[in-house]
A and B are shown apart, each in its own frame.
Chain A
Amino acid sequence: MNIFRLCGDLSHLLAILLLLVKIWKTRSCAGISGKSQILFAIVYTTRYLDLFTSFVSIYNSVMKIVFLSASYGTLYLMFYKFKPTYDHNHDSFRILYLIVPALVLSFVIVHAYTLMEVLWTYSIYLEAVAIMPQLFMVSRTGEAETITSHYLFALGSYRALYILNWIYRYYTEDFLDLIVIIAGIVQTILYCDFFYLYITKVLKGKRLSLP
């Protein structure tokens, strides 16, 4: 554990809880992509199956359980409790275009051919692109609520902080996992356009709207 990893995890946690609290408080999931949330639920489920097979630390296990519960809680709010507020007309990204290639890739580029390893790799590839339906939705509606922008910023920062963590770990522990590093870089790049808008608009108190 290092400071970059810890800040990354906290940023990730903040993002997930921010989204959950926003939906709960406003009793609405307008502007949120249910498809991205489905993808994140698949990501956490396939990655954290190791809760049953390997123990790292109390911290890791608790975080995994929180991520899983918050993710399924978000799906429950979006597709059941506040379903009428779900803006499905604008959530039109075809997620099979992400689910299938990520699955194929996880069989092609993987460290070892075991069920857990392939599922873990799949979760890494899918996470890299899971935000695309949400970014697509923002581009279709041309705007995002401020809380949604904070959510996206925290979620994007998490992987960027993990990149610093991997650099740090490479020098201090000789740790190098190219699958997760390259996927993490792709994931962070997807947010770059959004980061720019966030810094130039939202941080100056303006609403995020596209020209």
Chain B
Amino acid sequence: GKPKEGKDEL
């Protein structure tokens, strides 16, 4: 999976 920079979920 992608590293998740900047969490875009709540």
Contact = CB atoms under 8 A, between A and B. Distances in A.
Contacts of A67: 10
A12 interface: yes
A50 B7 contact: yes
Contacts of B9: 5, 162, 165, 180
Interface residue SS majority, chain A: helix
Interface residues of B, number: 9
A175 interface: yes
A210 interface: no
Contact of A60 (B1, B4, B10): B10
B1 to A, nearest CB: 3
Contacts of B10: 9, 12, 60, 63-64, 67
A60 B8 contact: yes
B2 A173 contact: yes
Interface string A1-40: 0000100010010000000000000000000000000000
A193 interface: no
B1 A175 contact: yes
A176 interface: yes
Interface string A169-185: 01001111100100000
A180 to B, nearest CB: 8
A196 to B, nearest CB: 27
Interface string A193-210: 000000000000000000
Nearest to B6: A54
Interface in A90-138: 111, 120
Nearest to A162: B9
Contacts of B7: 50, 54, 56, 120
B5 to A, nearest CB: 9
Interface of B: 1-4, 6-10
8 shortest A-B CB distances, which residue pairs? A176-B1, A56-B8, A54-B6, A177-B4, A63-B10, A174-B2, A175-B2, A9-B10
